[in-house]
Structures are given as C-alpha cells and as structure tokens.
Amino acid sequence: MAKASRPTTRRLQQMVRAYREAGALMAAVELGLFTHIANGADDEVSLTKAMGLQPLHGERIIIAMLGLGLLKRSGGKLILVEDVERYLVEGKPTYAGEWMLFTKPDWDEWGRLSTILQEQAPPLLENKTVAGITIEEARRYHRGTYSIGRGAGRLFLNQVDLTGKTLLMDIGGGSGAYCIEACNRYPNLRAIVLEMPAVVPVTQEFIDESGLTDRIEARVCDFNHDPFPEEADVAVMASNLPMYGREAIGAVVGKAYKAMASGGAFHLIGEALDPDRSGPPDPALWGLAQAINNTTGIAHSVAEVEGYLTSAGFNDVQTMGFVEGILQRTTGIK
C-alpha cells in the first residue's frame, strides 16, 4: 500500500527566501542586464563588461538569472526568454522596467513587518505614499504606472466599448494612461484625470507628450475630500482600491454616482480578493503592504466592491476578470 505523502518544507523555504529573487531581478533591471543582451552583449564575458562589473559579480548575477529562468543558454549564447524580451528590454514600447522597481521604496520596511504590525497608532486616511510627495517622487512613481498602465488601458478598451461616450472621468488616474489610450481610440471623447496636487503636473507631462492636451484635462482633486466633475458618462477608478479602507472607498463610489450622468457606466478596476476572501495572493499582499504606511487601506473582496456600487445606487453591478490573479473589474450603470 502506498504511503500517504507527508508535507515537506520545500514551499515554505521557497517563500521565505523569495526576497532574494526580488532583489536579484531588481538588480538585473537596474544594471540593464537584459538590455545589454538584446544589444549584443550575449556571452558572460561581454555582458559582465557591458554592466561594468568585476568578473566574480558578473558570473553571480548571470547565473542567478539563468537559475530563475529569465535567461536561457543556446549554442554558447545567452538568450532572453519571451516575457523578459518583451518587457525588460529598455527602448521597446513595451518596456516595464520602471514598474518592476515601483515598490522598491518599501523594501526595508518589509524586513521589519512584524514590528510594524504590533504598532498601535490609529491608521491615517491621508495616504502618505501619495499625499505630500515631491514632484520627483511622483515622476518616479508614474513612470512605473505608465509603463504598465498603457497596456491596462488597452485591455480595458478591448473589454468595454466606449462608442457614443463623451466624457471619461478617471478617479486617481495617475499618468492618465487609461484616458490617453481611450482618447487615442475615440476621437470624440474628452477626459478628466483627477489627481493629487503633486501628481497633476506629472499627469500633464504625459498628456502633453501624447499630443492630447486639447481633449484631456489633469485636475487637482483629492477624491476623499473634493467634488467630482458633473456629467461624466463613463468613469474609471483603477489600481487604488487597497490604498483606502471600506468607508473611504464606499464614499468615493457614492460621490461618483451622484456626479455622473444618468446612464453613465462606472468601472472599478481593483486588486480585489475573491468573494470568500482567501486569495489570490497578490491582492492580499497589496492589502498587507498598507500597514507599512499606516493607512486605512485593506484588501477588499469583489463582493465588498459590488456592495459599494450597489449601495451607491448603481444598477447591473457585475464583476469581470481583468488581469488574472491581480485585478478585477467591477462595473455598474447609473
């Protein structure tokens, strides 16, 4: 009779040392390792030289990238695997290296998480990751969100038909990525990006660069405190769900409902948990990350998000998958 298999420590060991994978990948991005290979430095000696490293360190980081499956060997050459080739080669329109470094400022704090979790100070609504930041920090932050947000914006447009819509309100719209993609696709659409004061000048830079200055406005609006523009017939609130608690998100959705045009469609694209609140891991960890800045933020479930829309008054509330394991899109009609 076959013995029942007993658990091993393998999964736990892998998880507890995952910080080393994160550190190795961030270092490779910062050193331009993948870009150098794409530019022809595709053996260990020339790649080490191109990165300006001493041979011992060059060997270490290259072997680590091979070990992690981010590089492969082929006929004595180093080659990039598919996702690395698409997203980590600088200069490509699909480059998302800035997004890979987006959460790096939190790095030290994760190392003292148990201490942070024992602190008793009441959480703050003002989320200091975005309130009172410098323009330079806003620029760094949104180079990251733009590098990933354009693709998300196109994904949104592939799911949602905006034909006939006239005004898009993007609540906490960051770089304006969703509005830029939408206005590029729909020539009669106008958009307003609502953002924190330090972010608006940066949003304006992205809008100017896109050539859509006459149709997209970047407007200062702290969505917890300030009024929303009237009569938007479509609204997006993307990738800021875990930054605030239940009361705050419910209030923002309620305010959006009141301001929107009748018949308008509201889309909350968020890092939401499944209805039973047992996963997936990525939204759960975005929620945990909020402890680092002592915000009211939490991992909300799709059932909770649907509740915010229904309580606000939206009809036909439903949730669709957006980016599997990462983002869900909950939508409702006024």
Ligand X SMILES: C[S@@+](CC[C@H](N)C(=O)[O-])C[C@H]1O[C@@H](n2cnc3c(N)ncnc32)[C@H](O)[C@@H]1O
Contact residues: ligand X, CB under 6 A: 127, 130, 145, 149, 152, 172-175, 177, 194-196, 199, 222-224, 238-240, 243
- Using CB positions, name the residue nearest to ligand X: 174
Task: Give CA–CA dist 263/261, Å, rounded.
Answer: 6
The nearer residue to ligand X, 12 or 124, going by C-beta atoms, is: 124
Task: Give CA–CA dist 288/306, Å, rounded.
Answer: 21
The nearer residue to ligand X, 35 or 331, going by C-beta atoms, is: 331
Crossing angle of helices 55-67 and 18-31, rounded to 10° = 120
Question: Considering the complex, what minimum distance in angstroms separates the CB of residue 240 from ligand X?
Answer: 4
Task: Give CA–CA dist 228/163, Å, rounded.
Answer: 23
The nearer residue to ligand X, 130 or 305, going by C-beta atoms, is: 130
The nearer residue to ligand X, 220 or 291, going by C-beta atoms, is: 220
Contact (CB, 8 A) for 71 and 78: yes
Question: Considering the complex, what minimum distance in angstroms separates the CB of residue 302 from ligand X?
Answer: 18
Question: Considering the complex, what minimum distance in angstroms separates the CB of residue 62 from ligand X?
Answer: 32
Question: Considering the complex, what minimum distance in angstroms separates the CB of residue 252 from ligand X?
Answer: 8
Question: Considering the complex, what minimum distance in angstroms separates the CB of residue 296 from ligand X?
Answer: 11
**What Å distances lie between residue 103 and 77, 228, 244, CA to CA?**
32, 29, 17
Contact (CB, 8 A) for 146 and 207: no
Task: Give CA–CA dist 30/111, Å, rounded.
Answer: 21
Burial class (CB in 10 A: 0-12, 13-18, 19+), 282: middle
Task: Give CA–CA dist 147/239, Å, rounded.
Answer: 14
Question: Considering the complex, what minimum distance in angstroms separates the CB of residue 149 from ligand X?
Answer: 3
The nearer residue to ligand X, 3 or 225, going by C-beta atoms, is: 225
The nearer residue to ligand X, 73 or 107, going by C-beta atoms, is: 107
Beta bridge mates, 333: 265, 315
Q: What token pair was written down for 156?
A: 């949104």
The closest of 110, 94, 116 to 22, measured between CA atoms, is: 110
Question: Considering the complex, what minimum distance in angstroms separates the CB of residue 103 from ligand X?
Answer: 10
The closest of 136, 131, 175 to 153, measured between CA atoms, is: 175
The nearer residue to ligand X, 195 or 217, going by C-beta atoms, is: 195
Reduced to 3 states (helix: H, G, I; strand: E, B; else coil), residue 12 is helix
Strand pairing report for 77-80 and 71-74: antiparallel
The nearer residue to ligand X, 165 or 329, going by C-beta atoms, is: 329
Question: Considering the complex, what minimum distance in angstroms separates the CB of residue 141 from ligand X?
Answer: 7
